[in-house]
Amino acid sequence: MSSGSSRGALVGLAVGVPISAVFLWLAVRNADLDAVRRTLEEAQAGLVALAVAAMAGVYGFQAFRWRKIAASPQVRLARFYEMVVSGVACNNVLPARLGDLFRARWLGLEAPMPAGRAFGTVVLDRGCDLAALFLLLVVGLAAVASTEWLVRIAVGAAAALLALGAVVIFARRYTGRRERARRSRGLLRRLVRDTVEVLAEPLGRRRPLVWIALSLGAWAMWAIGAIIVARSLGFDLDLVDAMFVAAVMNLGVAIPSSPGFVGTYEWLGVASLGLLGIASEEALAFSILLHACWYVPTTLAGGIALGVRGFVRVRRARNARAAVEAVK
């Protein structure tokens, strides 16, 4: 990790951890923690395992979508899935969503493609999630509940979408006016140029529709996982309510927080379920269990995948050096 990234990570921790602590306090302040513990202890293990499987399906949709965006059929879907889960694992333990930067780096090496181009695919990938969740939130505001803080989340998401649109427009005009040869000098310029080129490419109509459909599929799978978690704890959510909760919890984590969104995630779950009439204890138990259903498996699986790949690369490097020395 570069010195700039290290400084950014330290700043992210300094800002995010206190904010997470505040939101964690807000999540637990009105709940009977003994009742929360009892509710979690009574969760049905079989349903929890099924919810974990549903969350694994979310990353399948996202991996397939990213592969479509990257247009890299030479890279297996399984490898995209591994990179997505490994990126989530990094975000779980590192601040500032560094896992997304690592994803771009891994794709650049795997495809192979320029680092800036790989980063551009990650930007588009995240933009699809943002657009899908914004649509779900707008539907939820109309059909489920609306409060001032929810409207603020919706406004923030809309502003982010408008900013992404402005970047795409700028990218197209920028690439249309300047010659590539004059802008390819220097590493930073090449990175920016390659990223801009990806964002400036014509998409047509079909490709964005496919990406958004896959995004909606991913978050529908997340909603199914949420329904199963709720059922394991003894209460019900219908699909509309669950997709509303999906939009709130996954857009709301844009708030600066600690790695893995600890505290922020719990408060968003308690607040959104509270609007649906769910008691604080059940809502907090739901938020904790749902958080665990994706956090623990992705951290373990992603960490193992990263460890295995690191070991393989080290072993290959040693074998290569040994072969060179044998020739000498």
Asked whether the bond before 112 is cis by omega within 30 degrees of 0, the reply is: yes
Residue 260: predicted pLDDT? 87
Residue 42: predicted pLDDT? 96
Q: What is the pLDDT of residues 132-191, one digit of tens each?
A: 999 999 988 888 877 888 888 889 999 999 999 998 888 877 776 655 544 555 677 778
Residue 181: predicted pLDDT? 46
pTM score, two decimals? 0.90
- Alpha-carbon span 136 to 245, nearest angstrom: 9
Phi, psi torsion values for 258, nearest 5 degrees: -70, 165
Residue 191: predicted pLDDT? 82
Mean pLDDT of 193-209: 88
Residue 217 has pLDDT above 90, yes or no: yes
- Alpha-carbon span 60 to 45, nearest angstrom: 23
- Alpha-carbon span 112 to 105, nearest angstrom: 10
Q: Are 191 and 105 in contact (CB under 8 A)?
A: no
Q: What is the pLDDT of residues 103-119, one digit of tens each?
A: 999 999 999 999 999 99
